Amino acid sequence: MKGNDVVNQWVLATAGSEYVVSLSPDGSGLVLDHWGPPLHGGTEPWSEPDRFLQYAFPQDAAPLEYASAGHRQTAFGELIVDRGDGATGARWQCEDTADPATIETSGSRTTLTVAFRDETGTLRLTLLTEVDTAHDAVRRSASIENLSDGTIVLDRAFSAGWPLPVGRRPRIHYLAGAWSQEFGMHAIDLDLGTFSIGSRLGVTSLAFNPVVTVESAVPGREPEAFGVALEWSGNWRLQVEAPFAGDRVRVSCGVDDETNRITLFPGERFDSPVSSGVWSGDGPDGVARAWHAYQRDRLARTLDTSHRPVVYNSWMATEFDVRIDHQLELAAVAERLGVEVFVVDDGWFRGRTSDRAGLGDWTPDPVKFPQGLDPLAEAVIAKGMRFGLWVEPEAVNPDSDLFRAHPEWVYRAADRPLLTSRNQYVLDLGRADVVAWVEDTLRGILDSTPISYLKWDMNRPISDGGRPGDPHGREWSIQHARGYYRILAMLRREYPHVTIEACAAGGGRIDNAVLALSDVVWPSDETGPRDRLLIQHGFLSAYPQHIMSSWVTDAPGTRDRSATSFEYRFLVAMAGSLGIGADLLKWDETRVARAAELVGLYRSLRHLLHTAEVTRHGEPSDPTYAIEYSPAAQDADPVIVLVFDHDRDRVFDHDRVRIRPRTLEPERRYQLRGTGTTVTGAQAASTGVVVPFALAVDADILVFDPVG
Ligand code: DGJ
């Protein structure tokens, strides 16, 4: 936070940008004066234009940080208040215009808090804006508190509005997909109107991810781009509105306003999820780097490799056919590969012979594990690996003892017949007794067996969410997400040695809130290498490599089944947090030995790969695609480039494939590891480096060691 001469304007500094807000001239809201490169000297605060377009009001034109129906007259507002008296909306006034803001600084972090009251004086709106000079994310949220003695309903209570100065027809990038096709990169040039994405599935969703990148269309400022994300894993909505007037689009996001209706009884308060944003002068790639820096610095509990072990997961080898003898055989090969944690996926618990039964009954299946899990866990640990387990604690099969004992614990809409999806129901995590049961069940599992890795899955959308008769029942998706966070936080607090992998039928629950409470996430069930590369390419546009769990399997891709080398599969997985999911008993000795070498290579480079800045070269569909990993200190650590060659028609000609690393320091000289080739950063960037394809004919890993 820097001082500024302008009264009631606050200059909030991030690592490489400034976010400048001020109290609007009439004291009714915060306005965004600047978001971009540091101005070193402030800027004029926003003021009302001399005249408005016909039919517009001052509040409609103001670049408000948070707008409210009833105050804004014609433009979109993030908040809709209903007191039941017919006068929908609220009009705000800063609680203390003489001293409007509280500013708290802790280390590199600064939080600006400004509170407003509505015209009746009985509703308080508090806007929080947090910045950090260690990264570029601006984190914003809103709290709405009922100080009246009546009931207030919030038909919409978004987290933030972001009035972005991007001109007319900006390009909006977003991530969309489906099961096995997550994180597809899409874009729309938004001229006029509203673009809206969201989830009504009770989880973040496979269909859309709560993040957009908005590229500036202002002449001369085109490389500039903004990223806006919602840190939330329940039902959500994010919209971009491009009005006719003005040069801004408004990104608004928060808990979904169709499926949620928030009731505030006297004294109750709603705290919105955080919406975070980043600015970059370097387009969408710069936005991705800014997200990654934030996720590494703020969201990751550690970048230590211990919470990103090399995983072996038996799901693709066995599905539900989990047997101790077979698992022990797999573990014996996993040990030889250099695997660090052996994870038993779905199928280990009571009655779980298919997806039709067992969910909810979280004790080892007595047929599959007559002596419980300990003999397997102990054997795995004796081989020098950690032991891990799959759970899906929110779900229950109708055919389970849990459901028979507690049919009232699942979501149901009054007397409507229950719907199954993947033969299961979802437990209502809005109920304190259910959350307590899940916590105790997980404690029971973790206390009875030496488990240090949990994969937490969730395999169905929540339908019929609600709790008839409960006045807060229309907040079920908010409560469900909070219950999930609460349990994850308990695991972190009470079992800090347990690594958490977040999963929801693949990548159905990945967002910045989940990143803050898990160590790795499973982006997709698609492990066919070329399809996986495409998914990971999209993933990396908003999320970082250290959390991106990826397995080497034998599976063909679903969309591109063209063959790749074994090494290519490894490089795809090494781009994130490497695991193996193949049926190891089908691998011959040569393959096992080669895999062990590749795991060793990965382990020797893992810390660098996970902590580096990532630059993607082109698209996975290009003949040659590459991912460059640049360390913070190039005088000590190498720049690493993973190269994927996709030219099926190439009569293989090495000299034709060149990589131009973008992040080598121009004056510095580098040696390409394993070769006699040396090159300066400038030479490499201009003429490129011939890819030796030493690893395989279609993939290589280039390590540029600094030598002077
Ligand atoms: C979906 C996950 O994405 C898979 O990896 C696997 O864990 C299955 N569920 C198990 O049911």
CA of 232 to the centre of ligand 1 (A): 22
33 is catalytic: no
Mutate-to-test residue for ligand 1 from 312, 423, 459, highest number of ligand atoms within 8 A of CB: 459
Task: List all residues whose CB is within 6 A of at least one atom of ligand 1.
Answer: 315, 345-346, 390, 457, 459, 503, 505-506, 522, 525
- Classify each residue of 670-690 as buried b or exposed e, where b means 16 or more C-beta atoms within 10 Å of its C-beta: bbbeeeeeebbbebbbeeebe
Q: Of all atoms in ligand 1, which is nearest to the CA of residue 345?
A: 7
CA 194 from chain center: how many Å?
24
- Testing ligand 1's pocket by substitution, the residue of 320, 525, 535 carrying the most ligand atoms inside 8 A of its CB is 525
Instruction: Band the pLDDT of 575: cuts 50, 70, 90.
Output: very high
Q: Please tell me the distance between residue 506's alpha carbon and the centre of ligand 1 in angstroms.
A: 7
So what's the pLDDT on residue 286?
Answer: 97
Catalytic residue among 82, 118, 428, 525: 525
Which residue's CA is minimally distant from atom 2 of ligand 1? 505
A 10 A CB-CB count for 582 gives 25
Please choose, from the candidates 311, 388, 328, 354, the residue with its C-alpha nearest in 3D space to the C-alpha of residue 548.
311
- Annotation: binding site for substrate: 179, 345-346, 422, 455-459, 503, 525
pLDDT of 653 reads: 66
**Would you place residue 326 in the very low, low, confident or very high pLDDT band (cuts 50, 70, 90)?**
very high
Query: Ligand 1 center to residue 206 CA distance, Å?
Result: 14
Q: Average pLDDT in the 155-159 region?
A: 98
Mutation probe of ligand 1 site: the residue of 345, 352, 526, 580 with most atoms within 8 A of C-beta: 345
Rounded mean pLDDT of 245-270?
Answer: 96
pLDDT single digits (tens) 279-297:
999 999 999 999 999 999 9
Is the pLDDT score of 4 beyond 70?
no
Let me know if 33 is exposed, middle or buried by CB neighbors in 10 A (0-12, 13-18, 19+).
buried
Q: What is the pLDDT of residue 562?
A: 87
Residue 3 in this model has a pLDDT that exceeds 50: no
Highest mean pLDDT among 67-81, 406-420, 487-501, 548-562: 487-501
- Phi, psi (5° rounding) for residue 253? -155, 160
Angstrom distance (rounded) from CA 690 to CA 643:
11
Catalytic residue chosen out of the listed positions 33, 457, 531, 637: 457
User: What mean pLDDT is predicted for residues 303-330?
Assistant: 96
What mean pLDDT do residues 311-331 have?
97
Tell how many helices (H) and how many strands (E) occur in the chain. 13, 38
Question: Which segments of 427-581 are extended strands (E)?
Answer: 453-456, 499-502, 520-521, 549-552, 577-580
Question: Could you tell me the residue ranges of all domains in the chain?
Answer: 67-299, 305-607, 624-707
Structure tokens at 412: 């149901």
Task: Among 311, 315, 551, say which to mutate for ligand 1: greatest number of ligand atoms within 8 Å of CB.
Answer: 315
- Determine the distance separating the centroid of ligand 1 and the alpha carbon of 576, expressed in angstroms: 19
Band the pLDDT of 655: cuts 50, 70, 90: low
Q: How many CB atoms lie within 10 A of CB 369?
A: 21
- Kindly give the number of the ligand 1 atom that is closest to the alpha carbon of 355: 11
* For the chain, percent of residues with pLDDT exceeding 70: 98
- What does the pLDDT look like over 130-150, one tens digit per residue? 999 999 999 999 999 999 999
Angle ∠(190,191,195) on CA atoms, nearest 5: 40
Q: Tell me the CATH number for domain 305-607.
A: 3.20.20.70
Contact between 702 and 672 under an 8 Å Cβ cutoff? The reply is yes
- How high is the pLDDT of residue 652? 60
The 10s digit of each residue's pLDDT in 582-604 is: 999 999 999 999 999 999 999 99
Q: What is the pLDDT of residues 30-66, one digit of tens each?
A: 999 999 999 987 799 988 877 666 677 878 889 999 9
* Averaged pLDDT for residues 650-663: 80
The residue whose CA is least distant from atom 10 of ligand 1 is: 346
Residue recorded with tokens 């169905």:
460
**Separation CA 317–CA 166 (nearest Å):** 50
Distance from residue 670's CA to the centre of ligand 1 (Å): 43
Predicted pLDDT at 10 = 96
SS3 of residue 540 by DSSP:
coil
Higher pLDDT, 71 or 545: 545
For the stretch 137-158, what's the b/e string if a residue is b when 16 or more beta carbons lie within 10 angstroms of its beta carbon? bbbbbbbbbbbbeeebbbebbb
* Per-residue pLDDT at 331 exceeds 50: yes
Contact 475, 483 (CB under 8 A): no
Which is the CATH superfamily of the domain at 624-707? Golgi alpha-mannosidase II (2.60.40.1180)
Atom nearest to 525 CA in ligand 1: 3
* 136 noted as active-site residue: no
Centre of ligand 1 to C-alpha 508, Å, is 11
Distances 312 to 324, 338, 453, 578, 608 between C-alpha atoms, Å: 15, 10, 11, 9, 22
Are 460 and 426 a contacting pair, CB within 8 Å? Answer: yes
The pTM score is: 0.97
pLDDT in tens, 337-346: 999 999 999 9
Three-state secondary structure of 58-82: HHHHCCECCCEECCECCCCCCEEEE
Nearest alpha carbon, ligand 1 atom 9: 505
Return mean pLDDT, the chain.
95
Q: Which atom of ligand 1 is nearest to the CA of 319?
A: 10
- Ligand 1 centroid to residue 242 C-alpha, Å: 40
Q: Which atom of ligand 1 is nearest to the CA of 390?
A: 7
Helices 476-494, 432-448: axis angle to 10 degrees equals 30
Closest C-alpha to ligand 1, atom 1: 505
Residue 238 Cα to ligand 1 middle (Å): 28
Pick 67-299's CATH classification: 2.120.10.30, 3.30.70.100, 2.60.34.10, 2.70.98.60. 2.70.98.60
- 604-653 per-position pLDDT tens digit: 999 999 999 999 999 999 999 999 999 998 889 999 999 999 876 565 66
Distance CA 693, CA 254 (A): 47
> What is the predicted pLDDT for the residue at 1?
44
Q: Of ligand 1's atoms, which has the minimum distance to the CA of residue 506? A: 3
